Structure 1
Amino acid sequence: MMQLFNSRLCALCKGRKLLCGRPTCPILERFRVVKSVERIVNRREIFGSSPPSIFVGEFGYPRVRIGPLVPPIEGNTSYLDNPLKWENKTINDILKYRSLLVMGETKADVKVSKSQRILSEIQELAMSIRPVDSEILLKRKPILKVLPNEFAPPVGPKAELLDFELTENPRIPRKIDYVVSDELKAEEAIIKLYTWEFDEYYIIRLLSAGLLGISRKLVPTRWSITAVQDTIGKHLRKEILKYDTINEFELYFYEFLGNRYAVLLMPESYAFELLEVWLKGSLFGSEEPQVIHDYEDWRGIRGYAEETTGAYYAARLSVLEFLRNRKRQARILVFREVTPKYYAPVGVWQIRLGVKKALKNPVGKFDTLQEALNEVKKLLEHPLEKYLEKSWLLKMRKKQMTLDEFLKNF
């Protein structure tokens, strides 16, 4: 497996021969996306309807980059920043959406100061549930490149912000005014908003903008995504622990944006594990792909998901919602295989959505674990034995059954 970009190989290939083994050239695809929008975003003054959207960086914390994202388009632009509605879109569609969102960035201390006019405007934008006509003035024309991100949706063109103004009143629900003005802990506010069925990425935006919690601080977008998904996941886990277990082994599968998701539910008390492999030829793959994983039992994960990082919380939340809706608990094993078709990271939302889509696509029900694993083996490219050797959940079962017994019928 070559490196993500190998200068010698790229010079020989020039995007035509696909010598890296990928189905499409990631360099050329990003170039095409940028060129397709260059004419309308290559300006210092941008007027349009923000989806609404903001971004908070993490570099330099506690002094971070923050800014509104405004496209040179008016009208209903919500589709540009609504990941949970991108289920029928391609990676190219998403890169194009994000390349239309011009970010005017400014530096700010994470401790929110009400004396900062531009920050107050950004916070008002964040609270809106509808696109808001906005105007940004940049110090120079934005740098035209799309930077894919394994956590947040890709960041598009950006430049230093000189001024930002909302040119119409944002639509802010009364419940949001109540939560923002009340002295609630951030966790309480997140659960309250989730219970009221506010969009998950709307809650993430509020947290990023420093609008939730007793001690108000800006929160980098990447951290906000994990914090919101983890907080909701913990809340749902407490609920499903009260329910009876499912009755059979259940297997679900879906392939989404070059990611394969197999979800195995076992008729046992709650535990969760994510097993992940970046296959040979994928962005972060190697000549000998390795299984990485994180796991938890009914008490929750210890610390942070160090190996699978944000993917863990996104996948877990989708399965917990599925079980909560059924009023059942189960032991959960999620397999994620990343293929070369996933040529540009677009954020953990695709994991959240990919697992949700898998859970709508049942493969079958089985009386035994071995029968279920036989089917898993047919769905995945990486050797099942490698997963079994790594899995904490399956090792727990080895106390009752040896690995050789697992494999004897494969």
Structure 2
Amino acid sequence: MRRIPAELCVRCKGAKFLCGLTSCPILERFRAVTNAASKVRLDVGLLQGSTPPSVIVGEKGYPKVSLSFNVAPEVVGEQARLYEDPAGWWGRASLHDIINYRSSLVSNFSMYRINDVWKLYEREISLATISERPVLSESKVTGKLETKLKFDGIVMPRGPTIKADDIRVTENPKVPKILDRLINDDVKANDAVLTLYRGGEDVYRVVSALSTGLLGTLKNRKLVPTRWAITAVDSIVGDSLLKEVRDLPWVSETSVFFQGYLGNYFHIIIYPSSFFSTWVEIWYPTSLWAGELTITDLSEDYWGKYGTLDGGYMAARLAALEYLTKIRRSAGVMIIREVTGEYFAPVGNWHIRETVRRAFNNRLGSFQGLGEALDLVQGRLKDGRVKLREIRAIKRVLNQTRIDSFFDS
């Protein structure tokens, strides 16, 4: 979470909001965790409830990894879906709401080797994580409940954790037909991911299927850490979409789109060009990770080559390529992300994907050229100290003649 000085919290005690937030995240998290913990029957070592569905495969200790099966204690049926619902949260749930939802899930964790795929399948644990509806479960748990909430920049926050000696799925998972077929087919993971995406499955279920080892050739299936699976799915789908749009006719005009959510604000410029993508992140003082104004950038060229793999960029890139595929055009893409102090805790990169998707429903206008579009965005930035034309990746687009400019439109 954002580093708020401890002395400020001591003076405030959750009552004066000296940090500038509208409510105290420490107290809210404490209430949610305490409520969840009270529903775990530690006296008999039992945890009952539905998974939204939700699962996180860890990466520490690979090839022996933790699998966290997330359950809403004593919650049955559709009500559990609220605890993990990225598309449904967008625009409705605040950052405080999301932290409360995640704090209210109890994470049953067990250790598995990455080739224990069929063990999870036979016990329907992996099937429960890809179900179209919440699935009821019963876990035998041991040890103490760890009440610390774990945050991550790519995956969703994880609530209180406890060791599960046994997880029993007590309700039949409802697996989509297309996914059920692929589980039993000897198909490469990349091909399976694309088949699911093009068949209408959302990326979140595809990520869970890949992460729990349900996709790939039968003899090579393995558990995949969730962080890796998220970026892999974004990359596989994005690369496929790029092949579709790379040689399409260019867009005829320069457009600017905008959307904001959870203290993250995105301006997206689409301009006539063969595909070339620019990603700029502006982190303001007091925002998450940044104690001072910080700017990062990267570029991706016509052939899909980029300098650094960035999970946030891959999520935004997927959304932008979906839009270009929809309008059947190629274009240069410039995505400018501002991160403000409102974003005080990381909730995973799903909100980047969803916000950029929705930005394309909100066009600010059309412009004569890239320079005019940049001037508009410059005037809308939260801090005038940021000079867009001086950022390395943007200067590259403005000042250099790229080889793809010689391609016919």
Q: Secondary structure at the match of 2:373?
A: helix
The one-character-per-residue Cα deviations of 1:42-78 (angstroms, maximum 9, x if unpaired) are 6442222222222111111111111321212001122
2-side partners of 1:379 and 1:139: how far apart?
A: 53
Distance 1:125 1:245, change over 3 A: same
Partner of 2:77: 75
- Comparing 289-298 with 27-36, greater Cα deviation is found at 27-36
1:4–1:301 Cα change, 3 Å: farther
Aligned to 1:191: 194
Whole-angstrom CA distance in 2 between matches of 1:80 and 1:272: 34
Check conservation: 1:121, 1:164, Cα contact below 8 A: no
**Which amino acid in the other structure matches residue 51 of structure 1?**
P
* Correspondence for 2:96: 92
| Pair 1:229 & 2:238 matched | no
- Kindly indicate whether the alpha-carbon contact (under 8 Å) linking 1:51 and 1:132 is maintained by their aligned counterparts in 2: yes
Gaps of 5+ in 2: 402-409
Q: Which residue of 1 aligns with 2:216?
A: 213
Distance 1:366 1:384 in 2: 24
Give distance in 2, aligned partners of 1:90 and 1:297: 36
Aligned equivalent of 2:169, options 166, 171, 196? 166
Q: What displacement does 1:377 show?
A: 1.3
Instruction: Tell me if structure 1 keeps the 8 A contact 2:117–2:212.
Output: no
TM-score, with length taken from structure 1 = 0.89
Q: 249, 263, 267: which is aligned to 2:268?
A: 263
Distance 2:179 2:120 in 1: 20
Number of residue pairs matched by the alignment:
395
Corresponding residue of 1:177: 180
Q: Does 1:274 find its partner at 2:273?
A: no
Query: 1:163 Cα deviation (Å)?
Result: 1.0
CA RMSD for the aligned pairs? 2.4
Paired position in structure 1 for 2:389: 388
Name stretches of at least 5 consecutive residues in structure 1 with no aligned partner. 401-410
Any idea what SS the aligned residue of 2:257 has? strand
Rounded to whole Å, the distance in 1 between the matches of 2:32 and 2:387 is 38
Letter in 2 for 1:360: N
Q: Cα 1:160–1:154, aligned 2, differ >3 Å: closer, same or farther?
A: same
Q: Deviations over 1:62-96 (max 9, x none)?
A: 11111321212001122322212211111122112
Q: TM-score, normalised by structure 2?
A: 0.89
- The answer to whether the 8 Å contact 1:132/1:170 transfers is yes
Moved more, 14-23 or 353-362: 14-23
Measure the CA separation in 2 of the matches of 1:332 and 1:324: 13
More moved, 157-166 vs 368-377:
368-377
- Tell me the SS of whatever aligns to 1:217: coil
Q: Distance in 2 between matches of 1:118 and 1:212?
A: 12
In 2 relative to 1, CA 137–383 (structure 1 residues): closer, same or farther, beyond 3 Å? same
Q: Aligned ranges for residues 291-330 of structure 1 at < 5 Å?
A: 291-302=295-306, 304-305=308-309, 309-330=310-331
- The residue type equivalent to 1:142 in the other structure is L
Range that drifts further, 35-44 or 268-277: 35-44
Partner in structure 1 of residue 105 of structure 2: 101
